[in-house]
Amino acid sequence: MTPEEVLKLVKENGVKIVDVKFTDLPGTWQHFSVPTHVLTEDTFTEGIPFDGSSIRGFQSINESDMLVIPDANTAFLDPFTAVPTLSLTCNIMHPGPAGNQKPYSRDPRYVAQKAAEYLRSSGIADTAFFGPEAEFYVFDNVRYASTDNKQYLEVDSVESQWNSAGSDGKSSLGHLMNVKGGYFPVAPSDTYQDIRTEMVLTLEALGIEVEAHHHEVGAAGQSEIDYRFGTLVETADKMLLYKYVVKNTARKYGKSATFMPKPVFGDNGSGMHTHQSLWKSEKPLFYDPDGYAGISQLAHYYIGGILTHAPALMALAAPSTNSYKRLVPGFEAPVNLVFSKGNRSAAVRIPLTENAKAKRIEFRSPDPTANPYLLFSALLMAGLDGIRREIDPVKNGYGPVDRDLYSMTAEELSEISSVPGSLDESLKALENDHAFLLEGGVFTSDLLEKYIELKSDQSDIVRLRPAPIEFALYYDA
């Protein structure tokens, strides 16, 4: 879509407000709105000024003048606003003459654009495709507090077995789900069919092609909607829109959707399994009918890069303290740094397909708290490093392991590397291993330093606060 076409869309649909969106360093959409008369063709080159000092991971107050430059290709009519509103995703720039503004090094979308360009310049491939599968929970109620004298949380779902005796004076109608019993049940157990369907239809109306939706394993309303893979920047853009639609549709029904990795103790966490493939001249590069699981040597090297750099990647793939309550060894979590065919207990799975165009690898350790622009870029850079250095995952002890890793003994698992056990460990790994991210100027030291600082502060916030379970364990010491 061109700027001229965007202005035509505004006029034809009686748009009153233009909402400009961008992504902060952790990966959350931010926005502000302007009347339609502010939007002209010049806006797409001159931008709109804003204060960047209060955005997480952005500028200090003495360097806070910044610009949003709308991307005309991202325009859509917001389905959740009362007043006709046009939404535009933006890049962040430093102020300067129109068309010559300096891109902002900590703009996650700019990082993704640089990663896509670096791939093209490498000569290895010209396109990287990504397909994330972000799971989420839908709750009927969520309450929490963290003050000097109170640490408290409670979530509720009408689907969960904990409501079998009724709650808050309400009766139970049965048809409830047991822990880990939420995969593919029909109604009346699955009460979210209509909500997910509305999410799907809204996504498709906004140009996101959906492949499937279903209830997930988590009994308390866990769900998944899979949308079709796309190029790096395009797919990251869609992930932010996907979250927006899921959360706001749930809110419309009086419910709350969360992409938090581990909101419920004892049940499945929410991951974001990320499928990846490289193409050149419209031909897939990961397929070889004679290779292990039908993958090429180039794909082997790509996997080698992912698994070699996995500890550092986890700072971007699982970037919350809550992430590591999902990634616990000994449970059904993708913590084992090996690759395998069709094996969901390995960190890297090769889906079983004989279709050359569908041949890809899946990294199963990420979760939806990841900033998709940074995560997809980092995965690509790790894979390219593996290709450039010819890192063979077999020779480096990363498999393949074609058995259920969850059933292996502790002694057997001791010979297999695992992802870090905490956010602090992952951040330390990123500090020690990030040269591959700096290649081609894709990531910058400035961005990584600020990211590590931001995430370390979050870790400190959690570490300093007592948790309710500690009272059960230690109060009578």
pTM of the model: 0.95
Distance of CA 431 to the CA centre of its chain: 21
Q: Give, in order, the Cα–Cα distances in Å from 30 to each of 19, 133, 241, 261, 382.
A: 10, 23, 12, 21, 28
**What kind and span of H or E run contains 143?**
strand 141-147
Cα 180 from Cα 154, distance rounded (Å): 19
H-state helical runs in 360-444: 372-389, 410-413, 423-432, 435-438
Q: Where in the chain is the domain with CATH 3.30.590.10?
A: 127-474
Distance of CA 136 to the CA centre of its chain: 11
Cα 40 from Cα 232, distance rounded (Å): 28
Q: Could you tell me the end-to-end alpha-carbon distance of the chain, in angstroms, rounded to an integer?
A: 66
pLDDT at site 169: 61
Using DSSP bridges, classify how beta strands 272-280 and 283-284 pair: parallel, antiparallel or unpaired.
antiparallel
pLDDT at site 164: 75
Architecture of the domain spanning 3-104: Roll (3.10)
Cα 210 from Cα 206, distance rounded (Å): 11
Rounded average pLDDT per 10-residue block, the chain, 477 residues: 96 98 97 97 95 87 85 98 98 84 95 98 98 96 93 90 71 77 82 96 97 92 95 98 98 97 94 98 97 96 98 98 91 88 90 94 97 98 98 94 84 88 98 98 97 97 94 92
Give the number of other Cβ atoms within 10 Å of residue 317's Cβ: 27
What's the token pair of residue 8? 């035509």
User: Is the CA virtual torsion 18, 3, 209, 182 positive or negative?
Assistant: negative
pLDDT at site 180: 82
pLDDT at site 53: 86
Is the domain 127-474 a CATH 3.40.1030.10 member?
Answer: no
Beta bridge partners of residue 85, listed in sequence order? 17
Cα 124 from Cα 280, distance rounded (Å): 8
The dihedrals phi and psi of 195, each to the nearest 5 degrees, come to: -65, -45
Cα 258 from Cα 250, distance rounded (Å): 10
What's the token pair of residue 129? 């495709």
Distance of CA 407 to the CA centre of its chain: 29
Q: Where in the chain is the domain with CATH 3.10.20.70?
A: 3-104
In 209-244, which positions are buried (b, 16+ CB within 10 angstroms) versus exposed (e)?
A: ebeebbbbbbbbbbbbbbbebbbbbbbbbbbbbbbb
Long-range contacts of 187-191 (CB under 8 A, 24+ apart): 189/159, 190/159, 190/215, 191/158, 191/159
Distance of CA 342 to the CA centre of its chain: 22
pLDDT at site 167: 63
CB neighbour list of residue 396: distance below 8 Å, 6 or more residues apart: 304, 307, 308
DSSP tag of 186: P
Catalytic residues: 51, 133, 135, 216, 224, 273, 344, 362, 364
pLDDT at site 399: 86
